[in-house]
Amino acid sequence: MILILAGLRTRWVTLIGSFVALALGVALLATMGLALASTVDAPPQHPERLAGAPVVVRGPDELRVGEKTQPLANYRGVPAEVAARLAAAAPTVADRSFEARDGFTGHPWSVAGYGGYRLTAGRAPVRPGEVVVGGPPALVGTIVQGREVVGTVPPTGYERAMFLTDAEAARLSPRIDNLVVDAAAAEVRAVVGAAVGIQVLTGDGRRRADPDPDRDAEALMAANALLGTAGGVTTFVSVFVVASTFAFAVAQRRRELGLLRTAGATPGQVRRMVLAEAAVVGVLASAAGCALGSRAAPPLARMLVDERLAPAWFVIGGHRWPYHVAFWTGLLVALAGAATAAVRAGRVGPLEALREAAVDSRAMPIGRRIAGALVLATGLGLLVWRLIVEPGEALHRKTYTTQPMLLITAIALLTPAVVGPLVRALRLPGVTGPLVLANAAAGLRRTAAIAAPVLITVALTGSLLGATATISTAKATELRARTAADLIIERPDAATVARARAVPGATVLTSAQTAVYVLEEGTALIRSPALAVDAAALASVRRLPVIAGSLADLDDTSIVVNDEWAEHTVGAEIDVWLGDGTPRTLRIAAVLATGTGDNGAYVTPANAPGAAPDLLEMIVAGRAPAAGLAGVGLTREQWLAGQAPRTGRETRVGFLVVLGIALLYTAIALANTLVMATTDRVPEFTALRRAGATRGQVLRLVAAEALAVVAIGALLGVAVTLLNLAGIWAALGALSVWSPPVVPWRPLATTALACAVIAVTAALATASRRTR
């Protein structure tokens, strides 16, 4: 133990990088563990819009088949007969909700009080054309959507409310969404009786009547995904950095270990010494990381709330188990990272103490070659398997964020074997160029240890950003190919649809979002997004990728599906449930290529009860502008520009976190490795100075070597990026979407430049001190 502690005191410079990397990794794991634990035991959420209602009656809003359930796409509301029975038994207030333009949600004024709405200015609406809106009192007297604002209420965070008279709300939205009943819950249940699916809500259950009642749960799931991905990358990169640091440190200490063997130390004692050093570093770094994680968790929670990736109430709870997980994981990472180095240290023979040459061109250990080859084969095998069996999986975020890890790990393991041929193949100009390459070839371990973290960061940057850009471009290409309309109107009302159909020579297609449900193999109730369209106009207005059957055969007894469905044979009959839960047997009229996932099912409006048209597409003969509609809709190019796929906030923030972690670890690994390597080359620098080289020439040589090795790592990272993007491009081709891969050259160049700045700064800072 005395020898171990003495060694730590004298070699603290070589271990500081491992300590910092491990402490940072444990801090991140503790931070994310605390956040994850806080999402698991989230407090119960209380009702908002109808929080003051005694009892709320709601119609069926989910489809139940046996023990399996799915939310209904087209809510049917409270049945009229149930509403009538309840109105005869107790005072009731009908609640109606409908979407208006500019993000407003309309309601009858009589339900405003149940949500805590109180007038801040003006009065309640009493005549058609009068509204009360959420906002500042200055809105009173203005015109909103053709209606006069006669009053205002405080705005809320869950909706932009607009209140109308009860009569006008009933005219615009005849369906009763919720029914407030002023009676005891037991009495209400007795009146409802055995009506199928009718819900009687009290207490926190009234939250089911809120707009998007599952939004908090969905936000927490998004936070879970983000934190899980970041935690996985943290573990992956920290293991690699710690392992490479210990491996390089052992390689630098071969003469010292040889002296220990000469003095009588056994291979087991040498291995235990290396592992003990790792254990000491692991304990200290894990303790420091846990302390840092406790400080970092609250700001992380605030960031998630500010980015709307978590509900506004989200805070970090007082959990202890994340600290235990982070601490013991950090210690395990330190020991696992040092295990290979310890085995190698035990193999150092006594004669290593007599070595004077600094050339390190030994072949890579056979175990590392086998491990690298197995991981590479696994990564390529999964890539090919997905292309053959399930190409759509390659477009899922979980796949394109984890697939690169296998290939990066494989190339990182094989880096010492790849670097040698790559260095020998390079040609650098000038007198210094050959010397730079000769030094890189003479120190393969050093070159590989510096290039590997650059490889990881560049490959992660290119693979993640390139994947999202490639998929977004493919979706945009698919949408452009599918859209043939000259004029497109979003959320058209009945009058607009009538005007469009009255235009001479016009072909009009209206579509409404709905869903169909299929019980596959009797085990899974699958919800498939669908559109309810005008069958006669579908083939003319939309250019769909039909691979079997004909769109002309779509009618009230049939359905158009894609080839992802378990049953997709033209003419086959399938049992489905419609968007409102109605069971129906439909015949398959045509089959579409799945594409990027947006080619869903198509049905007629008769098979989508309750679904109102939300899009109108119109082709005008001769492409002439439609009189009276030009100011209402958008041209094809305008609409496509607005529909261009964009990276979601969750994905964007997640990638920033992941790439930030990778770059930070790269900085630690590069700085630590270059400090160790440059310190060990002092005799070489002294020999150069004695041979006549100036201090400036030595420093320029050091900077050139650092740049060359970073360039090698960047080239390997670009190669991994291209391989990953080629897999996604091939998957898109298998899905009948031919779109070129998008290589993010600017982020790649920026990442490589950042790595170069870090490497040159660390190398020059150390060399400058050692050459004085």
Q: What is the pLDDT of residues 138-159, one digit of tens each?
A: 999 999 888 999 999 998 877 8
Q: Which range, of 11-20, 175-184, 219-228, averages the lowest pLDDT?
A: 11-20
Average pLDDT over residues 401-426: 80
Mean pLDDT of the chain: 83
- 312: burial class by Cβ within 10 Å (0-12, 13-18, 19+)? exposed
Reported as a single tens digit per residue, the pLDDT across 220-255 is: 777 777 777 777 776 777 677 766 766 666 666 666
Higher pLDDT, 262 or 725: 725
Q: Report the DSSP beta bridge partners of residue 573.
A: 587
The SS3 assignment for 557 reads coil
Q: How many whole angstroms separate alpha carbon 657 and alpha carbon 226?
A: 9
Q: What confidence category does residue 304 fall into, taking pLDDT thresholds of 50, 70 and 90?
A: confident
Give one DSSP letter per residue of 492-549, joined into a string.
Answer: --HHHHHHHHTSTTEEEEEEEEEEEEEEETTTEEEEEEEEEE-HHHHHHHB---EEEE
> Per the structure block, which two tokens stand in for 264?
């009588």
Distance between first and last Cα of the chain = 36
Residue 696 vs residues 113, 349, 533, 686: alpha-carbon distances, Å: 79, 39, 75, 13
Sheet holding 178-181, edge to edge: 92-95, 178-181, 55-58, 199-201
Encode 391-428: b = buried (16+ Cβ within 10 Å), e = exposed. Answer: bbbbbebebbbebbbbbbbbbbbbbbbbbbebbeebee
Judged against a pLDDT cut of 50, whether residue 359 lies above it is answered with: no
Encode 467-503: b = buried (16+ Cβ within 10 Å), e = exposed. Answer: bbbbbbbbbbbbbeeebbbbbbbeebeeebbebbeeb
Q: Which range, of 178-187, 229-238, 520-529, 552-561, averages the lowest pLDDT?
A: 229-238
Give one DSSP letter per residue of 329-383, joined into a string.
Answer: HHHHHHHHHHHHHHHHHHT--GGGGG-----B-PPPPHHHHHHHHHHHHHHHHHH
DSSP-assigned letter for residue 586: E
Which residue from 667, 634, 632, 281 is spatially nearest to 453, judged by alpha carbons?
Answer: 667
Amino acid at 79: P
Q: How many whole angstroms separate alpha carbon 218 and alpha carbon 210?
A: 15
Amino acid at 337: G
What pLDDT was estimated at residue 358? Answer: 46
What pLDDT was estimated at residue 604? Answer: 95
- With pLDDT > 90 as the criterion, what percentage of the chain qualifies? 27
Q: How many whole angstroms separate alpha carbon 470 and alpha carbon 459?
A: 15
At a CB cut-off of 8 Å and minimum separation 6, what does 362 contact? Answer: 444
What pLDDT was estimated at residue 696? Answer: 82
Judged against a pLDDT cut of 90, whether residue 650 lies above it is answered with: no
At a CB cut-off of 8 Å and minimum separation 6, what does 342 contact? Answer: 250, 270, 271, 272, 274, 275, 278
Judged against a pLDDT cut of 80, whether residue 107 lies above it is answered with: yes
Could you give the angle at which helices 215-252 and 12-40 cross, rounded to 10 degrees? 160
What pLDDT was estimated at residue 682? Answer: 73
What pLDDT was estimated at residue 253? Answer: 67
Q: What confidence category does residue 546 fall into, taking pLDDT thresholds of 50, 70 and 90?
A: very high
- 9: burial class by Cβ within 10 Å (0-12, 13-18, 19+)? exposed
Q: Are 463 and 721 in contact (CB under 8 A)?
A: yes
Q: Output Rg (C-alpha) for the chain, integer angstroms.
A: 33
Name the pTM for this structure: 0.78
At a CB cut-off of 8 Å and minimum separation 6, what does 456 contact? Answer: 237, 240, 408, 412, 662, 665, 666, 717
At a CB cut-off of 8 Å and minimum separation 6, what does 80 contact? Answer: 176
Q: How many whole angstroms separate alpha carbon 287 and alpha carbon 371?
A: 32
* Mean pLDDT comparison of 1-5, 347-351, 671-675, 753-757, highest-scoring range: 753-757
191 backbone dihedrals φ, ψ, rounded to 5°: -70, -40
* Mean pLDDT comparison of 122-136, 340-354, 608-622, highest-scoring range: 122-136
Q: Are 509 and 541 in contact (CB under 8 A)?
A: yes
Q: What share of the chain is helix, strand, coil (3-state, %, to 5)?
A: 60, 15, 25
Q: Which range, of 7-21, 580-594, 734-748, averages the lowest pLDDT?
A: 7-21
Q: How many whole angstroms separate alpha carbon 132 and alpha carbon 122?
A: 8
Judged against a pLDDT cut of 70, whether residue 176 lies above it is answered with: yes
Q: How many whole angstroms separate alpha carbon 134 and alpha carbon 152?
A: 6
User: Measured on CA atoms in the order 55, 61, 63, 67, is the torsion positive or negative?
Assistant: negative
Chain centroid offset of residue 234 CA:
16
Average pLDDT over residues 627-633: 64
The SS3 assignment for 737 reads coil
What pLDDT was estimated at residue 3? Answer: 56
> Per the structure block, which two tokens stand in for 528?
């498939």
Q: Report the DSSP beta bridge partners of residue 164.
A: 108
* Mean pLDDT comparison of 16-20, 107-111, 412-416, highest-scoring range: 107-111
Q: How many whole angstroms separate alpha carbon 668 and alpha carbon 449?
A: 12
User: Measured on CA atoms in the order 151, 155, 160, 166, is the torsion positive or negative?
Assistant: negative
Q: Find the DSSP H helices in 118-253.
A: 166-172, 185-192, 215-252
Amino acid at 684: E
Average pLDDT over residues 758-770: 83
Q: Cβ–Cβ contacts within 10 Å for residue 607, how many? A: 25
